[in-house]
């Protein structure tokens, strides 16, 4: 029998429910509130007092409850996975804040609301993404309590990182980040050594963690050398790294980082899962995907294959491309939770041979 982990009341006598196997979704009780036990639930304020009891059941005061094994068969799956050694479970697709960059605020609020409704609890953003912080802050504010908000900085000095952290907190309308990351580590000397040196960004990071401004610390990297070097300097909670079918199978980039992170109990958060290759000169569709510096997979079947490959590599979650349509395409693809098959692996190998990876070993 599965236990309920979280429950939240929604308008219209609906519940948002998450189970201990990662399945989640909405249950509509509007047509089921009958009988003396459930009569009090018709009071909207009383309905909102829903909680999880000691047995993992959905319950209300005075004895009304729903047993965990009474899961609605139509409950839409919202797969989540453990985030490394933490007690957090993340949606397997995270929303990259760049999706809302340049949007009108109303549109940004709509996208975030739909993402939350579809089970997304992981949001990743950075100050280098234009006005994304300013748009994501108000949009995420109503859901902040249940969201896992990750932010990043390219600053390598203590003062620079401290200053950018304060700015990001203000722009995102939050008092803390769930995850704060060194952004775009590429060169060991210029990035890793600088961040870990005297007066480096890591001094600000550890101070922020002690003060409660951040819960967990991580980094993003675009080279295996930088990622492996950073892992050797500090016990990070996560690594955000390209885990992509072409980079892995043809470029040889990814396996060492994932193996090292797995051995250390770090969460592997994936970048570029749906990247198809670098843009070619004169590509006619490039203007449609200006938020992507690489050519993304746009065919739903190919995108599903690419995402499923990434999620089969000991990955907690994959951050979506910075395009609204592709973000929701990734959510659709993630609903398939069966193991990655040998037939799919053969198809991924054929596709990898036909494209150019955006990252590959020198």
- The whole model's pTM is what? 0.82
Stretches in the chain below the pLDDT threshold 50: 69-74
Q: How many CB atoms lie within 10 A of CB 261?
A: 24
pLDDT of residue 22: 66
**Domain holding 265: CATH number?**
3.20.20.100
49 with 106, same domain?
no
CA distance 124 to 218: 12
Residue 362 belongs to a domain: no
CA distance 352 to 92: 23
- Out of 15, 41, 66, a domain closes at 66
130 with 261, same domain?
yes
**Domain holding 51: CATH number?**
3.30.2020.10
112 with 179, same domain?
yes
88 with 47, same domain?
no
85 with 56, same domain?
no
Residue 72 belongs to a domain: no
Residue 279 belongs to a domain: yes
CB burial of 232-247 (b: ≥16 within 10 Å; e: otherwise) equals eebebbbbbbbbbbbb
207 with 339, same domain?
yes
pLDDT digits (tens, 9 = 90+) for 28-53: 777 666 666 667 888 888 888 989 88
Residue 134 belongs to a domain: yes
Residue 359 belongs to a domain: no
Residue 75 belongs to a domain: no
29 with 116, same domain?
no
- Out of 66, 91, 109, a domain closes at 66
Q: Number of folded domains in the chain?
A: 2
CA distance 218 to 133: 19
46 with 136, same domain?
no
C-alpha separations of 181 from 20, 22, 150 in Å: 28, 26, 8
345 with 227, same domain?
yes
Residue 151 belongs to a domain: yes
61 with 87, same domain?
no
- The domain in which residue 13 lies consists of 4-66
289 with 333, same domain?
yes
Residue 74 belongs to a domain: no
117 with 254, same domain?
yes
- Out of 66, 96, 117, a domain closes at 66
Q: Is 130 left (phi over 0), alpha (psi -120 to 50) or beta?
A: left
């Amino acid at each position: 029998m599965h236990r309920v982990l979280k429950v939240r009341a929604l308008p219209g006598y609906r519940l948002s429910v998450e189970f201990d196997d990662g399945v989640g979704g909405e249950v509509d009780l509007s047509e089921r509130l009958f009988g003396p036990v459930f009569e009090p639930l018709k009071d909207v304020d009383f309905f909102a007092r829903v909680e999880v009891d000691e047995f993992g059941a959905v319950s209300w005061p005075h004895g009304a409850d729903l047993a965990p094994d009474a899961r609605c068969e139509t409950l839409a799956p919202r797969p989540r996975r453990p985030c490394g050694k933490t007690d957090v479970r993340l949606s397997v697709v995270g929303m990259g804040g760049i999706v809302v960059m340049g949007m009108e605020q109303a549109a940004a609020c709509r996208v975030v609301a739909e993402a939350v409704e579809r089970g997304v609890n992981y949001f990743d953003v950075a100050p280098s993404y234009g006005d994304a912080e300013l748009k994501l802050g108000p949009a995420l504010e109503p859901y902040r309590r249940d969201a896992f908000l990750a932010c990043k900085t390219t600053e390598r000095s203590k003062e620079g990182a401290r200053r950018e952290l304060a700015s990001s907190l203000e722009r995102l309308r939050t008092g803390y980040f769930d995850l704060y990351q060194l952004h775009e580590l590429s060169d060991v000397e210029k990035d890793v050594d600088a961040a870990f040196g005297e007066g480096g960004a890591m001094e600000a990071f550890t101070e922020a963690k002690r003060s409660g401004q951040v819960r967990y610390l991580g980094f993003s990297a675009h080279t295996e050398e930088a990622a492996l070097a950073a892992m050797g300097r500090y016990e990070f909670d996560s690594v955000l790294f390209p885990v992509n079918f072409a980079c892995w199978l043809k470029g040889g980039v990814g396996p060492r980082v994932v193996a090292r992170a797995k051995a250390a109990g770090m969460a592997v958060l994936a970048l570029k899962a749906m990247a198809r290759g670098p843009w070619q000169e004169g590509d006619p569709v490039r203007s449609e995907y200006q938020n992507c510096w690489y050519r993304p997979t746009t065919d739903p079947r190919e995108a599903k294959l690419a995402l499923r490959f990434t999620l089969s590599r000991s990955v907690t979650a994959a951050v979506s491309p910075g395009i609204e349509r592709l973000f929701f395409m990734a959510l659709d693809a993630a609903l398939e939770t069966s193991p990655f098959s040998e037939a799919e692996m053969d198809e991924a190998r054929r596709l990898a041979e036909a494209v150019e990876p955006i990252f590959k070993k020198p």
